[in-house]
Structure 1
Amino acid sequence: MGRFSKMHGLGNDFVVIDARDGAVEMTEARARAVADRHAGIGCDQLILIGNAPDADVSMQIFNADGSEVEACGNATRCVPLFVGRDVLIRTKAGLLDAKSVDGGASVDMGAPRFDWDAIPLAYPMDTLTMSASWEELPAPAAVNVGNPHVIFFVDHLDGVNFDRLGPLIEHDPLFPARVNVNFAQVVGDDHLRLVVWERGAGLTRACGTGACATAVAAVRRKLVTGPVTVSLPGGDLVIDWAPGGTIRMTGPATHVFDGEADWDRF
């Protein structure tokens, strides 16, 4: 039997497995089975915490469809709560510094990348105002914050068909690694509303890396000044970034319950 914790950040929920004392083999099929909300435990992402030679812990992230991804901001905030102290975390996106704060955590998410081949895009173009769009949406921006994001700034979020446009854009050939799709509305000089269609997970209550990418794109376009409050369906995150620097994300993290499971049954 293996122990796990159920946790969430603004309703973006995780099964967090501690593999520091014993390896847990995680395949795409097993991650998908654990994440299944009817026949498994249920989560948006499965998080595997292990050992790392150059950090306090390592973190592997699997989406609900079983695909492994590089970064997850909401999950990163849960790690110091799970471990019980401030931690340096080794991820596929690099080293992330996570510190506990009252009710959650503050994480240095590293520096954003803007080069077309770092997003990645299929061919060169300006990533601040892309020479591409979909249907009635305006020209987006693209940012990599450990994983790929495309951001559309719209006048009114309520008029966007997320369920139709999200998967259409996620799987567009312009994005060879697929992409997280962010729909944002500026509601103040330092305030954004955001809905995210997450790569491999669909619509989520919150996406930490989406909030980071969207705030960065809004600052670059001079739509807002930081620190930026990003309001998602699940609640608010505060994103602080200045050009040339790293991104600091602060927000809630919640421990729901602990459990045990036989991973061989999944």
Structure 2
Amino acid sequence: MSTRPSNAPVRRTLRRAGIFVAVVALVTLTGCPRGSGQDDFGTLPSITTTDPEAEADLREARAAAEAGRVAEAERGYRAFLEAHPSDPLVPVARLGLGRVLLANGDIERAIALFAQVATSEDERVAEAGRFHQGVSLHLAQRHAEALALLEPLVGRTTDPDESVLLLRTLAAAAQREGRTVLALEALDRLGEAQEIDAADRESAVEDLRRVVSESDASAIAEAYDALPRDGSAWPEVAMRAIRLAFDAGDMARVSAIVAELRQRQIPMSEELAELAV
């Protein structure tokens, strides 16, 4: 039985990640570091424009978005798309408009825009579209579709806030789909990520423990076999598995798990160790 997580952590991360910054994902998903001194459009060499008016219009819309002037940003992006429907920067404008709509709670229209961005011939732009489409699909309760888009992006983000958003969304969507192992893997990765804030790491570990404590015996058995042994998740799963095996009277399994924990020099309480006696 899977737990039913709240979307609150995902929504908080969306706000903190700067949902209005239209091109940030095009940078964070391509490995181009922030603060590199490059012009925003210079990070997308295959998406340029020869129309200075189009570039200026898009910059104005982005400036409004970055300043939190939501209505102005939406008008600016829509005006750009109407005035420059064939400009190469159209996917960037659609991405920006989609982010504004998502921040306003207009999830379905945002999904439609991100889906268009995801068809871009430029793979980096398409990847940014898939990222935002996946987050939006999760918020729209379309969790399986969200996972299909987001799983391939693990390890692709370089911006800490975007990494938190990706892994938080993966964990929440996976729980809704009953995929406990994937949820634990995402939270484990988040808890071990030294580049993100300590508070985010601690929160991920707390949520990981909650998922373990609320998962049923079959989910714990699957996680025990599937999870890597070098993270934070597997020891928590192993200790829960000991209690479940003891309650089921399976003393052979209790002894086997305790032996593996000892072999890997993973600390456990005296109470758990004594269950194997």
What range is the shorter-chain TM-score in? under 0.3
TM-score of the superposed pair, with normalisation by structure 2: 0.25
If each structure's helix is expressed as a fraction of its own residues, which one has the higher value?
2
Bigger relative contact order (CA 8 A; separation at least 6): 1
If each structure's strand is expressed as a fraction of its own residues, which one has the higher value?
1
Q: Which has the larger radius of gyration?
A: 2
